[in-house]
């Protein structure tokens, strides 16, 4: 006997896709002020949809940055209350010339929707909203209490999310958080995500002279800011790819033998993994790729530039150079301490005659791990098995969900990731896509998940909630 | 008793400056196709000026690249014939935001004219043209035969100058070349430039994956194209600044003790030199700055980029990175051999898993040295002493004049540099300027120089001319 809510969702698949296309057409790039109109457009679409669906208290919550969209439905007095989280902001679309269709005019090709943000995180959020809206339409109620929180700063480290939670603690009282962000590990394997790496970003600038110099008049007798940047950045890693910063991995929580054996036993073909992205394995010797990605930290240069980049050549000895860096932090690492160690290393390796500026204003996000006995984990595993016909494996992500760290710190709540994007969908790269089949898996799972959660009570969550 | 030609030039100083301002307003950037109109505008200004002055055969000479402007006056049958050389193209103006006044709206401040190309090479060329025009206006003739050749590709390595010389050998029959490009060493010391370093450019690109990757999903387990570029570029130099490419300095002509002692004895304060540009000394240990700049080679990264450069951050593991390099070549080095050595080094230092592309299509320019006994040298030294009241010292430039190498190879002629720009005038950088006092020194010297050359005959030059 089919579930009436699920049946309605399945019957309306075209409508779901059409509404996602409209939502993903809003160019909501949070990092670049040029896209402020796109940010507002995305919020307006969300608010209209939530109003129409019958949510209460639809509003924007704001604390000095991009506002979050909030809505609630709280008419299940004995059921637990969940914050359902997602984000409406997306990564910048550049390099634009590499997109096969325009990033903000989503296009379906071969069962995939291509466009910036469709996978991260507009598709997965749409699945959650469509499911909740259909419960309200078909049954006039939700199985549990829900506070929807769709933030606008996930792609810039959730800069003011902590402040929003602080400011609106009353509105955000809940038992746990269900995140529609976080990404499935693979398309071919049911999995549940139990943790993420942290991150922290910094920018560095070098100056070697008062101004750019003519390479003929001065070249060979003065420092070149690009040579210095190359030397400084290459000091961060050993040739084998391991991090060369003293003490950097000291606080990383060691993996116990059982967990390491469990990871090694996961169905995962390293050769295929690297082949799919046209890359070769590179990293700390002795660490299998999955352990490297889930349990070891990185320091990555995300952008590096200086001197002349135009057509032809320019015989200049550049006086300035720049780099943007981010790190992924492993469980056990403190973001502030990691930043200190990087800064100390850079200052120690910067020679006399080179002026080094470091912007370390980002306070970063620690890695997160969902406790193994948490009630959300059992319900999520069961829902996935009901929906997909196979028991999910427990995995982590090498990415970062600032949310889980922030809600743990501010609200004392744990987070489960219930996202239906997949890790290979080129988010943060050109030609980001979202498998439309994820909508089918997603609505099935969300319907089952919400019905299972209705069997739990707030008391089930009490042992895992921390007061700050 | 004042020279009537010089008197007329001195009386018309305002006119000379006004015509230079008009000429320098043409944005003749040769390296960027966006400036093709500016290139044409500069040629049109030159041709109109030369027609009006009474030159014959005013025309454009072209061999597939930017045309050169040519004009001649050949009515001095017993006197030698000189190619008077300059260039009308200029460096790109960026970074635009660092200019105090717009680069192509020249502005006088404190006795200096600020604008792109005013010093390199529009001011010095204007001095030569104004002097020749005034001889024609006052005396109805020039003291010697002159073939003016103002090329449009000096800032891109004089790409088709050799082809132009080949194609128009008949038009360019001469005894030697006087270059209005090359720059005086300093404003406070009379000098004559007897040689230049060569150069050669190449571009490199790295690829580490089929596409940019999410730094959370893949970071730490794959190569990052920016890390690889940093490591590769930093392998080019030792930490002390010396070149780390095996065999690279092997062919550099050693300096004899007398010449080294002469250079060391030149009035030159290294500390002041570096202080003026806000930089510190850096280079091969054991080489004084002047020897480093005049007699030692460089490899310089002029531009380096990859990944995200926009506002905020982007957590990407870039798959591509790029660099533009040029080298300055010392006397003795062959450009092709230098290119081979650089390529071999880069390929040897590029690890497996990194795809390295090298564009080495530039054939480069060898260093040049004017023979010590050349008749142009004696006349130039005497003219400078007459005009400036002090005997010039012999110096070199660390820059490159492709012309001297090319005319030596194609036409078998030597070149003297008779320029009145000065090495500190920020050519190739924002806020390029030209001292207006250089116009006074310049016209005095050019008048004396041309009168002295009238006393020489083609036979004086025969021993120095080479047939190819």
Nearest one of A458, A459, A454, A449 to A180, comparing CA atoms: A449
Pair A218, A123: CB distance under 8 Å: no
How far apart, in Å, are the Cα atoms of B301 and each of B15, B203, B309? 41, 9, 18
Nearest one of B318, B361, B329, B310 to B250, comparing CA atoms: B329
pLDDT for A184 = 87
- A237–B227 C-beta distance less than 8 A: yes
Picking from B220, B234, B284, the nearest residue to A231 by CB comes out as B234
Phi-psi region of A305 (alpha: psi -120 to 50; beta: other; left: phi over 0): beta
Pair B333, B243: CB distance under 8 Å: no
Phi, psi of B72 (to 5 degrees): -145, 155
Q: Which residues of B touch A399 (CB under 8 A)?
A: 214, 216-217, 315
Nearest residue in chain B measured CA to CA from A216 = B399
Whether the CB of A52 is below 8 Å from some CB of chain B: the reply is: no
Using CB atoms and an 8 Å cut-off, which of residues 85-114 of chain A contact chain B?
Answer: 91-92, 94, 98
Whether the CB of B160 is below 8 Å from some CB of chain A: the reply is: no
Mutate which of B212, B214, B284, B320 to test chain A, going by most A C-beta atoms within 10 A? B214
And the tokens for B459?
Answer: 């036979």
Q: Rounded to 10 degrees, what is the CA torsion of B96, B101, B106, B111?
A: -130
- B310–A283 C-beta distance less than 8 A: no
Q: Which residues of B touch A323 (CB under 8 A)?
A: 226
What is the distance between the alpha carbons of residues A280 and A213, in angstroms, rounded to a whole number?
39
What is the distance between the alpha carbons of residues B338 and B344, in angstroms, rounded to a whole number?
10
- B322–A221 C-beta distance less than 8 A: no
Mean per-residue pLDDT over chain B, rounded: 95
Compute the nearest-CA separation of B136 from chain A (Å): 36
Q: pLDDT band for position B313 (50/70/90)?
A: confident
* Beta carbons within 10 angstroms of residue A400's beta carbon: 29
Nearest one of B89, B109, B110 to B101, comparing CA atoms: B109
Pair B9, B130: CB distance under 8 Å: yes
* Beta carbons within 10 angstroms of residue A110's beta carbon: 8
Q: Which residues of B touch A210 (CB under 8 A)?
A: 277-279
Q: Which residues of B touch A362 (CB under 8 A)?
A: 313
Picking from B210, B233, B305, the nearest residue to A227 by CB comes out as B233
What is the distance between the alpha carbons of residues B400 and B297, in angstroms, rounded to a whole number?
12
Using CB atoms and an 8 Å cut-off, which of residues 288-327 of chain A contact chain B?
Answer: 289, 292-293, 296-298, 300-319, 321-324, 326
- A211–B426 C-beta distance less than 8 A: yes
The stretches of B119-256 forming alpha helices (DSSP H) are 123-139, 161-167, 225-234
Nearest residue in chain A measured CA to CA from B289 = A221
Q: What is the CATH number of domain A199-252+297-359?
A: 3.30.70.360
- A226–B230 C-beta distance less than 8 A: no
Mean predicted confidence (pLDDT) in A34-60: 98
Using CB atoms and an 8 Å cut-off, which of residues 239-298 of chain B contact chain A?
Answer: 239, 241, 274, 277-284, 289, 292-293, 296-298
- A324–B216 C-beta distance less than 8 A: no
- B426–A226 C-beta distance less than 8 A: no
The total number of residues written for chain A in this structure: 468
Using CB atoms and an 8 Å cut-off, which of residues 388-427 of chain B contact chain A?
Answer: 397-400, 423, 426-427
- A33–B311 C-beta distance less than 8 A: yes
A108 pairs with which residues across the strands? A113
Pair A94, A160: CB distance under 8 Å: no
Query: Above 80 in pLDDT, residue B1?
Result: no
- B302–A314 C-beta distance less than 8 A: yes
- B211–A278 C-beta distance less than 8 A: yes
Nearest residue in chain B measured CA to CA from A223 = B282
- A429–B212 C-beta distance less than 8 A: yes
- A304–B324 C-beta distance less than 8 A: no
Q: Which residues of A touch B92 (CB under 8 A)?
A: 308, 310, 314
Give strand ranges (E) for B32-169.
Answer: 56-61, 68-73, 81-87, 107-109, 112-114, 145-151
Residue given tokens 């893949």 in the structure block:
B218
CATH topology of domain A4-196+367-464: Aminopeptidase (3.40.630)
What is the distance between the alpha carbons of residues A176 and B71, in angstroms, rounded to a whole number?
84
How far apart, in Å, are the Cα atoms of A38 and each of A44, A126, A127, A152, A420? 10, 18, 21, 11, 24
Q: For A361-406, write each residue's pLDDT tens digit.
A: 988 999 999 998 999 999 999 999 999 999 999 999 998 888 899 9
Mean per-residue pLDDT over chain A, rounded: 95
- The set of residues, in sequence order, having a beta carbon less than 8 Å from that of A319 and lying 6+ positions away, is A207, A208, A209, A210, A211, A212, A213, A225, B278, B279
pLDDT for A208 = 98
Report the b/e string of A233-243 with b at 16+ CB within 10 A. Answer: bbbbbeeebbb
pLDDT for A197 = 95
Q: For B406-435, write each residue's pLDDT tens digit.
A: 999 999 999 999 999 998 898 888 999 999
Pair A5, A135: CB distance under 8 Å: yes
pLDDT for A1 = 57
Q: Which residues of A touch B322 (CB under 8 A)?
A: 309
Q: Which residues of B touch A222 (CB under 8 A)?
A: 274, 277, 279-283
Picking from A199, A223, A328, the nearest residue to B282 by CB comes out as A223
- B239–A234 C-beta distance less than 8 A: no
Nearest one of A195, A145, A131 to A174, comparing CA atoms: A145
Mean predicted confidence (pLDDT) in A170-184: 92
Q: Matching CATH topology for A4-196+367-464 and A199-252+297-359?
A: no
- Exposed/middle/buried for residue A353 (C-beta within 10 Å: 0-12, 13-18, 19+): middle
Omega cis (within 30) before A95: yes
Domain segments of chain A: what residues?
Answer: 4-196+367-464, 199-252+297-359
Q: pLDDT band for position B467 (50/70/90)?
A: low
Percent of chain A with pLDDT over 70: 99
- B224–A397 C-beta distance less than 8 A: no
Q: Which residues of A touch B298 (CB under 8 A)?
A: 215, 219-220
Q: What is the DSSP letter of B187?
A: T
Mutate which of A270, A300, A353 to test chain B, going by most B C-beta atoms within 10 A? A300
| ipTM score over 0.90, yes or no | no
Using CB atoms and an 8 Å cut-off, which of residues 119-138 of chain B contact chain A?
Answer: none
Compute the nearest-CA separation of B347 from chain A (Å): 16
Q: pLDDT band for position A314 (50/70/90)?
A: confident
- A309–B305 C-beta distance less than 8 A: yes
- B310–A282 C-beta distance less than 8 A: no
Compute the nearest-CA separation of B35 from chain A (Å): 11
Residue given tokens 């142009």 in the structure block:
B376
Q: Which residues of B touch A32 (CB under 8 A)?
A: 310-312
Q: pLDDT band for position B159 (50/70/90)?
A: confident
Query: Above 60 in pLDDT, residue B468?
Result: no
């Amino acid at each position: 006997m089919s579930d009436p809510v699920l049946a309605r969702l399945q019957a309306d698949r075209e409508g779901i896709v059409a509404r996602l296309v409209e939502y993903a057409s809003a160019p909501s790039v949070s990092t670049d002020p040029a896209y402020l109109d796109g940010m507002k457009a995305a919020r307006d679409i969300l608010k209209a949809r939530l109003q129409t669906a019958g949510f209460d208290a639809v509003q924007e919550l704001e604390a000095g940055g991009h506002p979050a969209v909030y809505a609630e439905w709280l008419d299940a007095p004995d059921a637990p209350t969940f914050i359902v989280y997602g984000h409406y902001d997306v990564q910048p679309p550049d390099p634009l010339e590499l997109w096969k269709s325009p990033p903000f005019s989503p296009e379906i090709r071969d069962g995939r929707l291509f466009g910036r943000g469709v996978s991260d995180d507009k598709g997965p959020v749409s699945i959650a909203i469509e499911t909740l809206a259909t419960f309200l339409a078909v049954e006039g109620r939700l199985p549990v209490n829900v506070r929807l929180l769709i933030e606008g700063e996930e792609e810039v480290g959730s800069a003011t999310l902590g402040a929003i939670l602080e400011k609106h603690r009353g509105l955000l009282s809940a038992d746990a958080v269900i995140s529609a962000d976080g990404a499935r590990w693979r398309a071919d394997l049911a999995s549940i995500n139990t943790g993420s790496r942290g991150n922290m970003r910094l920018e560095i600038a070098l100056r070697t002279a008062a101004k750019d110099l003519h390479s003929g008049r001065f070249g060979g007798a003065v420092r070149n800011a690009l040579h210095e940047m190359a030397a400084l950045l290459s000091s961060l890693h050993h040739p084998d790819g391991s991090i060369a910063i003293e003490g950097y991995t000291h606080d990383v929580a060691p993996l116990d033998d059982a967990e390491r054996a469990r990871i090694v036993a996961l169905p995962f073909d390293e050769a295929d993994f690297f082949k799919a992205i046209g890359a070769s394995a590179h990293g700390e010797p002795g660490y299998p790729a999955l352990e490297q990605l889930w349990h070891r930290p990185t320091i990555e240069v995300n952008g590096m530039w200086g001197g002349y980049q135009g057509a032809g050549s320019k015989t200049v000895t550049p006086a300035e150079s720049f780099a943007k860096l981010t790190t992924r932090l492993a469980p056990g690492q403190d973001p502030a301490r990691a930043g200190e160690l990087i800064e100390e290393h850079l200052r120690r390796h910067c020679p006399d005659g080179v002026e080094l500026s470091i912007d370390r204003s980002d306070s970063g996000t620690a890695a997160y791990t969902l406790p193994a006995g948490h009630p959300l984990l059992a319900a999520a595993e069961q829902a996935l098995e009901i929906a997909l016909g196979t028991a999910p494996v427990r995995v982590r992500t090498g990415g970062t969900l600032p949310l889980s760290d922030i809600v743990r710190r501010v609200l004392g709540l744990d987070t489960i990731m219930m996202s239906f994007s997949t890790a290979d969908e080129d988010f943060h790269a050109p030609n980001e896509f979202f498998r439309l089949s994820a909508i089918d898996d997603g609505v099935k799972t969300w319907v089952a998940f919400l019905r299972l959660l209705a069997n739990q009570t707030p008391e089930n969550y009490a042992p895992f909630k921390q007061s700050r």
